[in-house]
Structure 1
Amino acid sequence: MNDVTPPSVDDVELRLLVEAIYHVYHYDFRRYARASLRRRMSAAMAHFGCRSLSELQGRLLREADVFTELLEYLTVQVSDLFRDPGYFRALREKVVPLLRTYPSLKIWIAGCSTGEEAYSMAILLREEGLLERSLIYATDINPNALRRAEAGIYDAAKVPDFTANHRRSGGRSSLSDYYSAAYDRIIFDKHLRKNIVFSDHSLATDSVFAEVQLVSCRNVMIYFDRELQSRALDLFYEALCRKGFLGIGLRESLRFSSHADSFAEFVREDRIYRKVDGE
């Protein structure tokens, strides 16, 4: 007797849809966590007025503009300046003293979304006197998010939260020193932006592009399945220099991953790890 439960129609439709995205548009969501994908696709179906994933797939294959809009649902764009201030305080107090020993610094913000974390890092490095000898690679798979990030323009209504986070992160100056305001928008100083390279990069399909001293990839891997998490961690391990640092999200952990022995806890409560080098 066969006890294997056959996949549901929804499961089959979802698998076919992400395969279509991969083969037609070369974006790989095949190893993203299924529960998260289902939620996002449900929201997308409502937006496009589709009654099924098959209907959405039909439109996707015939209307290129549909994919551009769908990408906004498939990529997470929830961010904030100095989000989780304790993380940046730990970087400032525990990691920066060691980063000072390098003549030049390269930092990778993986999954940078609309750029808030990249600017947070640039401000922190400026305050610690390290920005001029640093290069920040800020990468994402969403071209619209990258364009917004590179512009460095944000809603002025967010400034009170940005300012409070900056202060709690151990900020050494006024946040207003780093942006100018006009009407209901703020724009970050071009001197911050000149040390940031915004670029398209997929943790699912692309390779390592540089050796770095710090990788910050926060609240990204929670949307991956175990296999894709392992691939991302492979990339981070390969990219990091000897005894380099890795920061992940507060809801993420390496404890049960295939790379549990590749990184040692450095600041446990803020999810900062240090690369363990082989003999």
Structure 2
Amino acid sequence: MLTDLEIKTLIEELYVYHGHDFSGYSAASFRRRIERLYEMDKFENFTEFLSKARSDEAYFNHMIEEITVNVTEMFRDPSFYKILATEILPVLATKPFIRIWHAGCATGEEVYSVAILLKELNLLQRTLLYATDLNPTVIEAAKKGMFSLRNMQQYAENYRMTSGKNDFSEYYTANYGYAKFNKELSDRMVFSQHNLIIDGSFNEFDLIICRNVLIYFDKDFQQTALELFDESLSKLGYLALGSKETIKFSSIQYRYKQHEKEKIWKKMI
């Protein structure tokens, strides 16, 4: 639908006008989502589309919502959370205070999952969870801690597979088709917008979780994000990525040791 030159022009103009660099995103994924947006919003020509994207801040935010990927669920990949609960968080428990960064948090399901693990390990009150995403709309949704009740059965099953200690329903209140998670969990969370490519480090963390985000970046963008994580991670801290992601062949790999079963690396030097 759009030519290669039009896609290239759009990426360049979004960077000039808004400071967001999409040049390193998966080309096929970016094109697919942009063409879907173009068709959905019924633009008559590319010039009209480009003008709207450049000059209308509200429309640009809408565009970000369509471009970024926000598919997530609570305790996704239960084996990962089981290792987190039994092997990683108990090590961090030796620290007087724990800082965790959940980068690319989407609507927050995985952040609340980690908070539940922390509560069950009696670590929640001395932990801060920083949750960031490029998309401001999903950040606002994550702050509310409200998820559809239709998903709770699957989330409860995921939780059970992590060897959760309680009845999952103890962590939320059901109301009008939604599950509102306990304020005790969200009180330990700080939500903000953050761009992994152009924004810098903002704290030192003991655990950084960024799962299934880097797969949408090209190699240069992946390297930029990994260097940011390395800069932000304390010595002997942990970096957790998605099942199809790795730090192999990156400039930071020699400083890390991978967990034998999961995509979790410990920073050794």
- Residue in 1 aligned with 2:267? 275
- Residue in 2 aligned with 1:111? 104
- Residue in 2 aligned with 1:5? none
Is contact 1:17-1:54 (8 Å) kept?
no
- Residue in 2 aligned with 1:120? 113
What SS does the corresponding residue of 2:73 show, helix, strand or coil? coil
- The Cα shift of 1:52 comes to 5.8
Runs of at least 5 residues in structure 2 that lack an aligned partner in the other structure: none
Q: Does 1:228 align with 2:228?
A: no
- Residue in 1 aligned with 2:153? 160
- The Cα shift of 1:57 comes to 1.4
Q: In structure 2, what is the Cα distance between the partners aligned to 1:54 and 1:271?
A: 44
Q: Does 1:187 align with 2:211?
A: no
Of 231, 238, 255, 1:238 maps to 231
The number of residues matched between the two structures is: 268
What SS does the corresponding residue of 1:17 show, helix, strand or coil? helix
Q: Give the TM-score of the pair, scaled to structure 2.
A: 0.95
Is contact 1:14-1:53 (8 Å) kept?
no
Please give the per-residue CA displacement for 1:184-213, whole angstroms capped at 9, x wherever unaligned.
111111110000000111101111111110
- Residue in 2 aligned with 1:50? 43
Q: In structure 2, what is the Cα distance between the partners aligned to 1:36 and 1:263?
A: 30
Q: In structure 2, what is the Cα distance between the partners aligned to 1:90 and 1:238?
A: 24
- Residue in 2 aligned with 1:174? 167
- Residue in 2 aligned with 1:89? 82
C-alpha distance 110-53 of structure 1, shift in aligned 2 (>3 A):
farther
C-alpha distance 10-263 of structure 1, shift in aligned 2 (>3 A):
farther
What SS does the corresponding residue of 2:252 show, helix, strand or coil? coil
What SS does the corresponding residue of 2:258 show, helix, strand or coil? strand
Q: In structure 1, what is the Cα distance between the partners aligned to 2:15 and 2:104?
A: 19
Is contact 2:226-2:247 (8 Å) kept?
no
Counterpart of 1:198, as a letter, is F
Counterpart of 1:162, as a letter, is Y
Q: In structure 2, what is the Cα distance between the partners aligned to 1:135 and 1:104?
A: 8
What SS does the corresponding residue of 1:102 show, helix, strand or coil? coil
Runs of at least 5 residues in structure 1 that lack an aligned partner in the other structure: 1-8
Counterpart of 2:148, as a letter, is D
Of 198, 206, 209, 1:213 maps to 206
Is contact 1:45-1:52 (8 Å) kept?
no
Is contact 1:217-1:249 (8 Å) kept?
yes
Please give the per-residue CA displacement for 1:229-278, whole angstroms capped at 9, x wherever unaligned.
111111111111111101000011222333332321124x320111130x
- Residue in 2 aligned with 1:263? 256
Please give the per-residue CA displacement for 1:210-233, whole angstroms capped at 9, x wherever unaligned.
111000000000011111111111
What SS does the corresponding residue of 1:270 show, helix, strand or coil? coil
Q: In structure 1, what is the Cα distance between the partners aligned to 2:218 and 2:32?
A: 15
What SS does the corresponding residue of 2:147 show, helix, strand or coil? strand
Counterpart of 1:234, as a letter, is E
Which stretch of the first structure deviates more once superposed, 138-147 or 54-63?
54-63
What SS does the corresponding residue of 1:171 show, helix, strand or coil? coil
- Residue in 1 aligned with 2:5? 12
Please give the per-residue CA displacement for 1:122-179, whole angstroms capped at 9, x wherever unaligned.
0010011100100000001111100000011111101001101111112111111111
Q: Does 1:136 align with 2:148?
A: no
C-alpha distance 273-124 of structure 1, shift in aligned 2 (>3 A):
same
Is contact 1:107-1:213 (8 Å) kept?
yes
Q: In structure 2, what is the Cα distance between the partners aligned to 1:237 and 1:203?
A: 12
C-alpha distance 183-228 of structure 1, shift in aligned 2 (>3 A):
same
C-alpha distance 13-262 of structure 1, shift in aligned 2 (>3 A):
farther
